[in-house]
Amino acid sequence: MLEIILLLGLHQLLLAVTVYEKGAEVVRMYKTLLGSQGFRNGMDLYFKRHDGQAVTCEDFFAAMRDANNADFANFLLWYSQAGTPVVKVASSYNAEARTFSLKFSQEVPPTPGQPIKEPMFIPVAVGLLDSTGKEVPLSSVHHDGTLQSVANNGQPVYTTVLRVTKKEEEFVFSDVSERPIPSLIRGYSAPIRLETDLTDSDLFLLLAYDSDEFNRWEAGQVLARKLMLNLVADFQQNKPLVLNPKFVHGLRSILSDLSLDKEFVAKAITLPGEGEIMDMMEVADPDAVHAVRTFIRKQLAHELKAELLSTVENNRSTEEYVFDHPNLARRALKNIALAYLASLEDSRCTELVLNEYRSATNMTDQFAALAAIAQNPGKTRDDILADFYSKWQEDYLVVNKWFALQAMSDVPGNVENVRNLLSHPAFDLRNPNKVYSLIGGFCGSPVNFHAKDGSGYKFLGEIVMQLDKINPQVASRMVSAFSRFRRYDETRQNLAKVTISGEDTVYQWTVRKRV
**Separation of CA 198 from chain center:** 21
Residues 500 and 461 in one domain: yes
Residues 101 and 124 in one domain: yes
Residues 475 and 418 in one domain: yes
CATH of the domain at 95: 2.60.40.1840
**Domain limit, last residue, from 72, 97, 123:** 72
C-alpha distances in Å from residue 442, one per residue of 36, 388, 410, 478, 504:
46, 20, 9, 11, 23
C-alpha distances in Å from residue 404, one per residue of 340, 397, 417, 443, 460:
20, 11, 12, 10, 15
pLDDT above 70: residue 307: yes
**Domain limit, last residue, from 197, 230, 262:** 197
Say what the pLDDT of residue 151 is.
78
Residues 414 and 473 in one domain: yes
Q: What is the DSSP string of 306-347?
A: HHHHHHHHHH---SPP--SHHHHHHHHHHHHHHHHHHTT--H
Q: Reduced to 3 states, what is the DSSP secondary structure of residue 216?
A: helix
pLDDT above 90: residue 514: no
Say what the pLDDT of residue 4 is.
34
End-to-end CA distance of the chain: 6
Residues 91 and 67 in one domain: no
Residues 497 and 466 in one domain: yes
pLDDT above 60: residue 505: no
Residues 22 and 91 in one domain: no
Beta-bridge partners for 160 = 126
**Identity of the amino acid at 356:** E
How confident is the model over 376-388, as a mean pLDDT?
Answer: 95
| Domain tally, the chain | 3
Residues 60 and 108 in one domain: no
User: Is position 497 within any domain?
Assistant: yes
User: Is position 369 within any domain?
Assistant: no
The sheet that has 122-129: what strands, in order across it?
A: 160-164, 122-129, 181-184
CATH of the domain at 462: 1.25.50.10
Q: Model confidence over 235-261: pLDDT tens digits?
A: 999 999 999 999 999 999 999 999 999
Q: Model confidence over 163-199: pLDDT tens digits?
A: 999 999 999 999 999 999 999 999 999 999 999 999 9
**Positive or negative torsion for Cα 395, 401, 405, 406:** positive
Say what the pLDDT of residue 438 is.
97
Provide the domain limits for residue 148: 86-197
Q: Reduced to 3 states, what is the DSSP secondary structure of residue 277?
A: helix
Residues 147 and 37 in one domain: no
How confident is the model over 50-63, as a mean pLDDT?
Answer: 93
User: Is position 240 within any domain?
Assistant: no
At 155, the pLDDT band (50, 70, 90 cuts) reads confident
Q: Which helix (H) or strand (E) holds 474?
A: helix 472-479
**Domain limit, last residue, from 49, 72, 95:** 72
User: Is position 463 within any domain?
Assistant: yes
Angle at which helix 325-342 crosses helix 363-373, to 10 degrees, equals: 20
Across 140-144, 162-166, 506-510, least confident range = 506-510
How confident is the model over 277-289, as a mean pLDDT?
Answer: 96
Helix, strand, coil in percent for the chain, rounding step 5: 55, 10, 30
User: Is position 257 within any domain?
Assistant: no
Say what the pLDDT of residue 320 is.
87
Residues 483 and 434 in one domain: yes
φ/ψ region of 175 (left if φ > 0, alpha if ψ in -120 to 50, else beta) reads: left
User: Is position 253 within any domain?
Assistant: no
Say what the pLDDT of residue 336 is.
97
Residues 68 and 91 in one domain: no
Residues 496 and 414 in one domain: yes
User: Is position 452 within any domain?
Assistant: yes
pLDDT above 50: residue 61: yes
